[in-house]
Amino acid sequence: MKSTLLRQVARASATPVRAPTFTAATRVPFSQTEKTATHPPHARNFSNGAVLKEKAPKDDADHNKHDQYSTSGKPGAFKHEGQHSRTDNRIKVEYPEEDNLPASKPVQGRGGFHFKRTLASFSLEGRVGVVTGGARGLGLVMSQALVVSGADVAIVDLNKDEAARQAEGLMKHFREENPGAENIPKVTAHYADVSSPESVNAAIAEIVADHGKIDNLVTSAGFTENFDAIQYPFDRMQKLWGVNVNGTYLFAIGVAKHLMERKAPGSVVFIGSMSGSIVNVPQPQAPYNAAKAAVRHLASSLAVEWAHAGIRVNCISPGYMLTALTKKILDDNPELANKWTSLIPQGKMGRPEDLMGAVTFLCSDASGYVTGADLRVDGGYTVT
């Protein structure tokens, strides 16, 4: 055994060692490798990631015309460049003064007894809901949604007379559609300048005195204006921010404080806008877009901060809604209707009643595990 091992070692030591056959690669342009095969077939060319040059098309003129659509083309080579994705500073819409705002009406045919089965968790019976900006437009219809779903409602508005008229109208409408009903929802009207802490606190105290508690809050008070950013008067921008952002924040913390003092759960629904996620065209409205982006993220932030107390905070972001005020704007700017609907996958603007289900869901126990969400009701606008 030992002698055999010695013979194998001797044979191995007598075998000459072959030098490595590695051949250093020389960089050969790709165009040359196509034309020649003079380099050895076994030698591989190594690349450091250089982009390979494509063959030039036979018709260079036909090929180059497509370059005009790229960044190598001359800016403004075509009239259509960016025309569907830019703002137009010629469009200017100033929010009307309170006396000039068009009145709204409750939605007809909503609120009567029905026999279609649905989850009991969608009911708001025994709850008290507060809706800011509830005397008109989206706020009025969402107030009606809460009433239809069984809640008592406090309508808060800068125009208390209009709020009182709408509160009476909602109760009358409920009686007409529910003849013989024993429990008629209580709907009250309250004044508040939502941008003022003192006014907000006074309104919340008045609502608690009238209803005994608050369970739900819907912050619908807000407005938009269309100005080129450079030309937008700063005082008007401050007013817009004060109503849309400060007003949302002030009412939210006021109601949350009330709920925490009661050690009661609750649901807060901010009314944002798809404008908080995209840039609307062609109308310029940079401050409004920023304000609604703030509202959307405020909902997420407060959802986390108040989760321990059982207070859910969510946001609804509507798309273009055909309110009475929107109709007035379209009367003055008829070209906007075609522009807007051309950018909506469903091809139509929404109606205020399209928000009734969304707000009821987020206020009810049906959304008990939903908080910090942004529910976009926009016909698909923000997903394209």
Strand order of the β-sheet with 216-219 is: 187-191, 152-157, 128-132, 216-219, 266-271, 311-318, 374-377
Instruction: Give pLDDT, residue 7.
Output: 55
CA-based max dimension of the chain: 117
User: How high is the pLDDT of residue 70?
Assistant: 73
d(CA 274, CA 317): 5
How does the average pLDDT of the chain come out, rounded?
85
What pLDDT is recorded for position 9? 46
Dist. CA 360–CA 375, nearest whole Å: 12
pLDDT band (50, 70, 90) for residue 221: very high
Least confident of 90-104, 127-141, 197-211, 278-292: 90-104
Catalytic residue (one of 249, 288, 320, 381): 288
Check 143, 149, 220, 273 and give the catalytic one: 273
Residue 288 known to be catalytic:
yes
What pLDDT does residue 356 have? 97
Residue 57 has pLDDT above 60, yes or no: no
195 is catalytic: no
Active-site residue (options: 220, 232, 267, 292): 292
- Percent pLDDT > 90 in the chain is 64
Q: Which of 6-10, 57-61, 139-143, 363-367 has the lowest mean pLDDT?
A: 6-10
45: pLDDT strictly greater than 80:
no
Q: Which of 79-88, 102-111, 210-219, 336-345 has the lowest mean pLDDT?
A: 102-111
With bands split at pLDDT 50, 70 and 90, how would you rate the model's confidence at 301? Answer: very high
Q: Are 151 and 185 in contact (CB under 8 A)?
A: yes
**169 is written with which tokens?**
């109208």
**What integer is the mean pLDDT of 126-130?**
98
Q: Which residues of 140-170 are buried (b: 16+ CB within 10 A; e: fewer)?
A: bbbbbbbbbbbbbbbbbbbbbebbbebbebb
Q: Does residue 7 or residue 256 have the better pLDDT?
A: 256
Tell me what pLDDT residue 110 has: 54
State the pLDDT at residue 22.
46
Give pLDDT, residue 97. Answer: 75
Distance CA 104, CA 135 (A): 8
* Lowest mean pLDDT, pick from 99-113, 306-320, 321-335: 99-113
| Model confidence at 274: pLDDT above 70 | yes
pTM of the model: 0.78
Angle at 84 between CA 78 and CA 86, to 5 degrees: 95
